[in-house]
A and B are shown apart, each in its own frame.
Chain A
Amino acid sequence: MQKLFKYVRESQIWKSVFRHGYPDTPRNRTLAVLSNVFLHLHPVKVRRSGIRLSYTWCMGGLTFFLFLILTLTGLLLMFYYRPTADRAYEDIFALREHVPIGVMREMHRWGAHLMVISVWLHMYRVFLTGSYKPPREFNWNVGVILLVLTLLLSFTGYLLPWDQLAVWAITVGTNMARATPLLGHEGPLASALSFGGIDFIHAGDDVRFGLLAGRFVGEGALLRFYVLHCVGFPLIAATLMAVHFWRVRKDGGISGPL
């Protein structure tokens, strides 16, 4: 057995993948982090305060992990879901009726709820430890945009089951856009944008119409939300996460007294 392990570890294939020995010496531990594209998001060494749960609450890491879970389960759900008004509800319903112990939709739904909570708690911790202070001002701002993206991801996903809860929650949410100043047809100053008695802003061209691709939550809105939910927002969020993690390292590492 020992011989076999030794043989495998000295083979050309193994060595081509792993450039270092087992990480039990300082040199190999350093190499383990440096030579791995995923691990090298971390620095080689961290402050002891940065790995204490009572200090960090692990909420940022959990948020990222939830994003990965949601990407994976979301990808699987996409195989069984057609974003049209005739099919969407049926497909989700079938997922429950025909799959024994199916957990993908459950993981996706509960995970999405949890991700909103974990983002809030992460920001709460960052605020309470003053970790937004110089030199981390910019990264806090990236974080705020990621918070907004998390809410938008959750909000666009809310519509996709196409049941009463979904449609009416999105109706309530997007009704606010009617009242956008200048750009919503029931907003203040919208009537100022009229010319010779013709309103430029009306129910058929205001912000809400743009969000929903129609005057009410219908097929156009479903497709629009689906594309944003599955492609648009995740891409932006993933990009900004890369920036966020990079700046955590560049701005002094996992938070701790500087």
Chain B
Amino acid sequence: MHSLLASMLPGPLCAAALPVGGGGGHVDDGPVAAALKHAANWLTEPTRYSVASILGLIAVLYFRRFFSKVWVVTVFFALSTAFFVFAFQDPNFNAIITKPDNVPIIILFATVVFFSWLALRRAVINDERTKRGEPTLEGELAKQKVFTWPDLVYSELICLVLFTAAMLVWSILITAPIEEPAATARTPNPSKAPWYFLGLQELLVYFDPWIAGVLLPSFIIVGLCAIPYIDTNPKGNGYYTFEERPFAISFFWVGFLLFWVSFVILGTFLRGPNWSFFGPFEYWDLHKLEPMVNVDLSTWVWVDILGKPRPDNPFVREAPGIVLLIGYFLVLPPLLGKTVMRKMVTDMGMIRFNVFMHLFLWFVLIPIKMGLRWTVNLKYFIGMPEYFFNV
């Protein structure tokens, strides 16, 4: 995987980055094309994609000087375009990619990749300048002041005119779609939320609605609001940098790129009927069934380990999960604060540390649960359908 941002966004492009040379093949011709499509389908499978993207992001951050080079992103965009041209001829890929409402998702993909690269590049340059004792790129420019009229007003006007022109062309070329009239009796399959909420809909695979649809979005909003009060690092204010705030930047990249943006893309392009997963070159088969063999933690402990039936009282039955989660949310933060994160507590103070830890632990619970689902088919830590309380 040699392209910087290939790792952040879904697999079709990761796959494209490896073998090039597949010509324009149709569904059933050309061994190279078939292999390429097979590789793309294989790699975009959620488990493999997630592991690959995490490793990819670590690689990008570690080898950031290489990935921030101009030719690297040029090669990446060239390969992506080549892949799109190749993939466009596949009817299954074409059917999903050419929906008018999916055009913005392509724009999202391209802009997020480009701007992430741009930010990384400027961070690398700034970090080198700081090491040499020079001011940052922005720091140098900030010393000069220019008149708002004409410098700022004119560039605003130019942006405005160009942008309006682009919007008009887009609006003339692509007509806004309208589907059949609303019918509450006919449920379309798949039924999808608006695209910007697909990250949350994806989490419904792993969590119940009260977590994926209510608790986590609330935590995202609260967490975003809390950022300036939790982040006590005074450095990196007003310029791009990585080395002066490595944790903040890495954390945001994981959250925004690996979870939010790539789940939106996954949900748009790779989730079909019954919310089943489909590779980019797979036909959206209504009858694709995925076996449901998920097991609650309580079943695992009582039946598989202790070898007896699950107790009737829900609180006794779910005791293992309750103990586990109380330990996770209430015992772990003070434990970490006393040991590994002692310096953080002294830097931040108790209140900041606790707010941060709870938001952070909720965030980390998402990949933990995803991992447990993939490896040991865990359904719920605590499963109390009696009270709609499933975690």
Contact = CB atoms under 8 A, between A and B. Distances in A.
Interface of A: 23, 26, 29-30, 32-33, 39, 42-55, 57-58, 61-62, 65, 69, 85, 89, 92-93, 96, 101, 103, 105-111, 113-114, 116-117, 120-121, 123-125, 127-134, 136-137, 140-141, 144, 147-148, 151, 154-155, 158, 161-169, 171-173, 175-181, 184, 186-191, 216-218, 255-258
A25 B181 CA distance: 60
B388 A23 contact: no
Contacts of B228: 132-134, 136-137, 140-141
Nearest to B242: A128
A49 B138 contact: yes
Contacts of A167: 182-184
Given A23-B149, A134-B228, A168-B187, A110 B387 contact: no
A110 B171 contact: yes
Interface in B137-169: 137-139, 141-142, 144-153, 155-156, 159-160, 163-164, 167-168
Nearest to B200: A176
A95 B238 CA distance: 47
B362 to A, nearest CB: 14
Contact of B214 (A30, A50, A53, A187): A187
Would you call the interface of chain A mostly helix, strand, loop, or mixed? Answer: helix
Contacts of B208: 179
B71 interface: no
A205 to B, nearest CB: 17
Interface string B352-380: 00000000000000000000000000000
Interface string B179-199: 111111011100111111100
Of A131, A165, A186, most buried by chain B (CB within 10 Å of CB) is: A165
Closest A-B pairs by Cβ, 9 of them: A176-B213, A106-B171, A137-B228, A179-B209, A113-B104, A179-B210, A49-B141, A130-B236, A257-B238
A155 B126 CA distance: 39
Contact of B163 (A65, A113, A172, A258): A65
B115 interface: yes
Given A133-B231, A176-B209, A55 B138 contact: yes
28 contacts: A29-B149, A45-B147, A46-B145, A48-B146, A55-B138, A65-B159, A69-B164, A85-B182, A93-B178, A108-B176, A121-B111, A128-B240, A130-B237, A132-B227, A137-B229, A155-B194, A158-B194, A164-B179, A164-B180, A168-B192, A172-B193, A176-B214, A179-B210, A186-B209, A190-B388, A191-B388, A217-B184, A256-B142
A103 B168 contact: yes
B141 A52 contact: yes
B89 to A, nearest CB: 26
A163 B179 CA distance: 5
Given A46-B148, A111-B167, A172-B192, A187 B178 contact: no
A164 B188 contact: yes
B273 to A, nearest CB: 13
B274 to A, nearest CB: 13
A180 B214 contact: yes
A130 B174 contact: no
A154 B188 CA distance: 21
Nearest to B236: A130
A109 B238 CA distance: 34
Contacts of B351: none
A140 B229 CA distance: 11
Given A124-B256, A188-B388, A216-B184, A117 B104 contact: yes
Interface string B225-259: 10111010011111111000100110010001000
Contacts of A132: 227-228, 231
A106 B176 contact: yes
A179 B388 CA distance: 8
Given A47-B144, A130-B238, A257-B238, 7 more contacts: A39-B153, A44-B148, A61-B156, A93-B178, A120-B108, A162-B181, A255-B238
Contacts of B248: 130
Contact of A92 (B142, B178, B256): B178
Contacts of A107: 167-168, 171
B193 A47 contact: no
Nearest to B121: A54
B119 interface: yes
Contacts of A161: 178
A217 B168 CA distance: 33
Contacts of A129: 138, 236, 238-240
Contacts of A168: 187-188, 191-192
Nearest to B169: A103
Contacts of A62: 159, 163
Contact of A39 (B112, B148, B186, B187): B148
A219 to B, nearest CB: 11
Contact of A133 (B179, B180, B234, B241): B234
Contact of A106 (B175, B180, B236, B245): B175
A149 B27 CA distance: 44
Contacts of A155: 194, 197
Contact of B151 (A46, A121, A162): A46
A140 B227 CA distance: 9
A151 B153 CA distance: 29
Contacts of A181: 210, 214-215
A141 to B, nearest CB: 5
A4 B196 CA distance: 55
A257 B126 CA distance: 12
A172 B153 contact: no
A256 B183 CA distance: 52
Contacts of B300: none
